[in-house]
Structure formats: C-alpha cells, structure tokens
Amino acid sequence: MSLCLAAGALVVALGRGEVTLSWRHSVQKTLWEEVWQATPAGPEIVEARIEGSGAGMDPPDGARLVDGFWRWRPTLPPLKEVVMRRSGATADWRICLAGQCRPMGDYLPDDADPVTLKICN
C-alpha cells in the first residue's frame, strides 16, 4: 500500500513508506511539516511539527521542542484524502520521501491545483 499525489487525471505514485508534506506559512514564514503514512482506511498523520508559533499556528498542549521544531501527534482518524491548494502566493509545497525533499512541481505541473494525497489504487 502506498500514497499518491493526484491532480485531475494525473496520478503520481510516491512509493511505500512515510511522506512528509512541508510548507512555509504565508505570513509568519515559519516551516510546518506533517508526516503521513498509508493505511487501509486512508492517509493517517503520524506527526506534525512547526518551527515556531504565531498567526494561528501555535503548537498544542503536549507538543515538545526537539531539534528546533515543536512536535506532536495529532489525534485525527485516517482521512479519505488530504487536499493541498497551490495559490502561487507562497512557495510551493515540498514532498519529502526517505529524507529527500523536492518541490511539488517536480511531481506535477506548477498549475495543478488542487492536489490530493491519497491511497494509490
């Protein structure tokens, strides 16, 4: 079981293992990352982490500061899909696989919007 990026009819398999979605907040310019894994019920978040706080991005109670990031495990059930928008007003999403990060534009056209992270069929 693996995760895919999808935009319209375009589908890109990301392979097995965890996928990290990474982006910078449009106002604070703070890095936010979420680690997702494939489950039979859909993508499930394993960890969220943020460099700092502000503009509605405060880490929740119980988050711990490790290596410059506030880290926690959100209590969300698996989702059918994770929807990402690409407004062009901020830097593009980054997709990290096995510690290697690349912009979403390396996987899908720059004008692909919205993009979903979902289980590959």
Dihedral sign, CA of 68, 70, 73, 77? negative
> Residue 54: its pLDDT value, please?
64
Report the range out of 34-43, 53-62, 82-91 with the highest average pLDDT: 34-43
Q: Which residue has the higher pLDDT, 25 or 31?
A: 31
Q: What are residue 106's phi and psi, to 5 degrees?
A: -75, -15
Distance of alpha carbon 21 from alpha carbon 99, whole angstroms:
12
Among 9-18, 47-56, 92-101, the minimum mean pLDDT is found in: 47-56
pTM of this structure: 0.90
The pLDDT tens digits of the residues spanning 60-107 come to 889 999 999 999 999 999 999 999 999 877 788 999 999 899 999 999
Provide the strand spans (E) within 40-114: 42-50, 64-66, 69-72, 82-84, 94-97, 100-103
CB atoms within 10 A of CB 22: 18
> Residue 90: its pLDDT value, please?
76
Q: DSSP secondary-structure letter at 51?
A: S
Report CA dihedral (61, 21, 78, 14) to the nearest 10 degrees: -160
